[in-house]
Amino acid sequence: MTYAKAFGITAMGMILMSFESPLIKMTLVSAQNFTFYFGLCMFTTMNLTLFLKHKTAFFALYKKDFLIIFASGFCIALSNLFFILAIKHTSVASAVFILSTGPLISAGIGFLFFKQKTPLRTFIAIFFVFIGLSFILFHDVALGNMKGNLYAFGCVFSFVSMLTILERNKEANRLACFGTGALLASCLAALSAPIVLPDSYSLSIIVGVGAFLTPLSRAFIGIGTRFLSSVEVALLTIIEPVLAPFWVWILLKEAPHPNTLLGGAIIVTTLIIHSIKTHQAHQKD
C-alpha cells in the first residue's frame, strides 16, 4: 500500500470516528441503554468478521490468549461505557478534548509505574496539557458538569490500561479483544441500570453506529496505521477532537464555551508540536 493511500484511509477512519460523539448525543436513551445495544451490535459485527476470516480457527483464537483477551476486553468495556457516559453528561467538546490527552497520560503512567524512558519534551507537553485541561475544568465546575468530565478521565485511564496490556501482548487478536470488550460493556450496562427497548429513532442510530460506523472506522484506522509511523498516527488522531465539536455545533447547535475552546486549542496545539518534535528526534537517531 502506498503512503498516500495509507494516510488517506487512516484519515477517513478518524473522520468517521468524529461522528460517533454527536450521534450518541442525538439519541433519546440513557448512556447505559445506548451502551447495551451498541455493545451487542459491535460484538456481533466483530465476531462475524472474525468467523468469516478464520472459520475453523475461530475458537482457537480465543482459547490461545483467553486471559489477555478478557483483561484487555474488560478495559475496553470500561472505556466504552465511560465514553458514552461522558458524552451524555457533559459537552462533546469537553469530553473529546479530555480524551485527546490519552497518549501523554499513557507516557506519564509508563514513566511512573513501568520506569519507561520518557524524554523531557513529553513532560513539557504534559504540563501544557494540564494548563489546557484547567481551562476546561474551571468552566465545567462552575456549570456543575464535572460528573461528565470524570467519566471522560475514567475512559482515558481505561483505554490507557488496555493499550498497556496489548503493547505487552502483541500476539492477541485485536478484533477478538474489541469484540469481547463490546460484550462486556453490554454486561456492565445491564448491571448498572434497567435496560429498556429504545424508540425506533434512537435504535436506528445505535445500530448504525454499533454495526457499521464504529467497526468501519476502526478497520480503516487499523489498516492505515500498519503503514504509518506512530508520529503520523498521533497527528491524525487530532482530527477527532477538532471535528467532533464542529459536527455537534452543526447538528445540535451545541456551541462550545470560549473557555472550552481555549483549553482545547492549547491541548491540540501541544499535541501537534509534541508529535513534530518526536518525529524530528526520530530522524536524528
| Separation CA 141–CA 14 (nearest Å) | 30
pTM of full prediction above 0.75: yes
DSSP secondary structure, 166-204, as one string: HHT-TTS-HHHHHHHHHHHHHHHHHHHS---PPPHHHHH
pLDDT tens-digit profile, the chain (285 residues): 777 788 888 889 889 999 999 999 999 999 999 999 999 999 999 999 999 988 888 999 899 999 999 999 999 999 999 999 999 998 888 898 888 887 777 777 777 776 777 788 888 888 888 898 888 888 777 666 688 899 999 999 998 888 888 877 878 888 899 999 999 999 999 999 999 999 999 999 999 999 999 988 888 877 776 777 665 676 777 888 889 988 998 888 888 888 888 988 998 898 888 888 877 877 776
Alpha helices in 90-145 (DSSP H): 92-99, 102-114, 120-143
| Separation CA 131–CA 217 (nearest Å) | 31
| DSSP 8-state secondary structure symbol assigned to residue 210 | I
| Separation CA 145–CA 142 (nearest Å) | 8
Amino acid identity, position 69: I
Residues 6 or more apart in contact with residue 4 via CB below 8 angstroms: none
Residues 6 or more apart in contact with residue 269 via CB below 8 angstroms: none
Q: Where are the domains of the chain?
A: 3-284
